[in-house]
């Protein structure tokens, strides 16, 4: 990577086009890695669709659909090693799977059941200590300075750990983004910033978010090289992420990757996008959808055929259905967890509240009211 990469920050790096044809120089990626990428994207799509259904069934409180953004999440996170750290946002199911979280672990969280690793907390989305993956905070972009701080800690301790953080186009308007980038640039923090530019921040379009020609160019002012990449081309995303991770690991400092993608679904299950964007726009972007084009590429390269593809979808469909069954059968979290992980010894007033809560639950049960 040369200099600050101004050309790359204004450019649009891609390897395969929307028909799966090779349009750029093909990086040398082992066949098994390409199949792994595809598998993670398929798993993310299946899980995403199920989370949407489970929300509609009243089992999951809210879900932020990932549809259309699988390549950015999977391609970037696959560049990390297991001992690296991920600070995701709330739209990266694929990255959670890449880190090693299973469908069941993600579902346990979504269903707030007894195995929820985050014990029902509403202030964080998915994450798991076991997989060096921090739960995404609800306030947009808060994970950015957290990621920089973790990267600085790794650097000070002399570890060669890399930290990657994901966030949206909307998050680039928050102070946390600017503070994080500035700090990382000055102190050469080993961090990779990945913007999932999906063109919308709920109902705010990119054109109202910034007047800058690209989001990647915002890194340049902070001394952080920016690269704009086709976020729906998993091969291109992986290629630039590997470069950025290597750069961070070898002490050369941070990189800002803008993965240009599109949110095909609603912002969350609580959103109605027909109120602010047209059907035509969504149809236009369906053409660039990342799974179909990558499938074509793999078929053209002889790494996949229709039969194997069908088997893959069936296998992970079945895997996910079983995970849902198991997660749904688990008991709910015990009420005590709301007092855990705040105080080592809960104070009297919280203990009193817990007693009152138990009493209310007892009375509700006596009255035959459903308590969950």
Ligand X SMILES: Cc1ncc(C[n+]2csc(CCOP(=O)(O)OP(=O)(O)O)c2C)c(N)n1
Q: Give how many residues touch ligand X by CB under 6 A.
A: 16
Q: Rule CB under 6 A: is residue 282 a binding residue for ligand X? A: no
226: β partners:
256
In the list ligand X, Mg ion, none, the entry touching 202 (Cβ below 5 to 8 angstroms by class) is ligand X
3-state class of 126 per DSSP? coil
Q: Rule CB under 6 A: is residue 175 a binding residue for ligand X? A: no
Contact 77, 55 (CB under 8 A): no
196: β partners:
168, 259
3-state class of 265 per DSSP? coil
- 267 belongs to the catalytic site: yes
d(Cα 306, Cα 233) in Å, to the nearest integer? 20
Q: Rule CB under 6 A: is residue 201 a binding residue for ligand X? A: yes
Q: Rule CB under 6 A: is residue 334 a binding residue for ligand X? A: no
When binding is defined by CB under 5 A, the residue of 77, 133, 172, 198 that contacts Mg ion is 198
- Cβ-based nearer residue to Mg ion, 89 or 161: 89
d(Cα 94, Cα 77) in Å, to the nearest integer? 8
Among 109, 156, 157, which residue's Cα sits nearest to residue 133?
Answer: 109
Q: Rule CB under 5 A: is residue 169 a binding residue for Mg ion? A: yes
Which residue among 129, 159, 208, 276 is the active-site one? 276
Q: Rule CB under 5 A: is residue 194 a binding residue for Mg ion? A: no
Which residue among 8, 45, 146, 263 is the active-site one? 263
Among 152, 248, 173, 263, which residue's Cα sits nearest to residue 218?
Answer: 173
Q: Rule CB under 6 A: is residue 171 a binding residue for ligand X? A: yes
Q: Rule CB under 6 A: is residue 169 a binding residue for ligand X? A: yes
Q: Rule CB under 6 A: is residue 257 a binding residue for ligand X? A: no
Closest residue to Mg ion, judged by C-beta, is: 168
d(Cα 66, Cα 47) in Å, to the nearest integer? 10
Q: Rule CB under 6 A: is residue 273 a binding residue for ligand X? A: no
> Helix %, strand %, coil % for the chain, to 5?
50, 10, 40
Which residue among 267, 285, 288, 293 is the active-site one? 267
123: β partners:
none
Question: Contact residues for Mg ion (CB under 5 A)?
Answer: 168-169, 198, 201
Catalytic residues: 263, 267, 276
Question: Contact residues for ligand X (CB under 6 A)?
Answer: 91, 138-140, 167-171, 196, 198, 200-202, 263, 267
């Amino acid at each position: 990577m040369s200099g600050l990469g101004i050309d790359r920050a204004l450019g649009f790096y891609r390897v395969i086009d929307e028909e799966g044809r090779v349009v750029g120089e093909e990086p040398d990626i082992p066949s098994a890695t390409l199949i792994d990428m595809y598998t993670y994207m398929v798993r993310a799509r299946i899980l995403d669709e199920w989370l949407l259904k489970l929300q509609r069934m009243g089992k999951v409180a809210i879900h932020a659909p990932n549809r259309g953004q699988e390549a950015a999440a999977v391609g970037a996170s696959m560049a990390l090693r297991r001992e690296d750290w991920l600070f995701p946002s709330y739209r990266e199911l694929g990255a959670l799977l890449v880190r090693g979280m299973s469908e069941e672990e993600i579902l346990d969280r979504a269903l707030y059941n007894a195995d929820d690793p985050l014990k029902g907390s509403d202030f964080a989305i998915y994450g798991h200590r076991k997989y060096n993956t921090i739960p995404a905070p609800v306030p947009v972009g808060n994970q950015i300075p957290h990621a920089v701080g973790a990267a600085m800690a790794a650097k000070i301790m002399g570890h060669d750990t890399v930290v990657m953080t994901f966030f949206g186009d909307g998050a680039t308007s928050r102070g946390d983004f600017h503070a994080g980038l500035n700090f990382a640039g000055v102190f050469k923090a080993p961090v990779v910033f990945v913007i999932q530019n999906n063109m919308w921040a709920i109902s705010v379009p990119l054109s109202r978010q910034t007047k800058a020609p690209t989001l990647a160019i915002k890194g340049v002012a902070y001394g952080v090289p920016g690269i704009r990449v086709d976020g729906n081309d998993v091969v291109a995303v992986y290629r630039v992420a590997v470069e950025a991770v290597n750069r961070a690991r070898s002490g050369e400092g941070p990189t800002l990757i803008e993965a240009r993608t599109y949110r095909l679904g609603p912002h969350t299950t609580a959103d109605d996008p027909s109120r602010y964007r047209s059907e035509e726009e969504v149809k236009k972007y369906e053409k660039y959808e990342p799974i179909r084009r990558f499938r074509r590429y793999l078929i053209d390269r002889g790494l996949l055929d229709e039969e194997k593809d069908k088997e893959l979808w069936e296998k992970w469909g079945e895997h996910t259905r079983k995970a849902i069954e198991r997660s749904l059968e688990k008991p709910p979290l015990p009420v005590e967890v709301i007092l855990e992980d705040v105080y080592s010894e809960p104070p009297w007033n919280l203990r009193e509240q817990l007693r009152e809560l138990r009493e209310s639950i007892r009375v509700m049960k006596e009255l035959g009211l459903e308590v969950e």
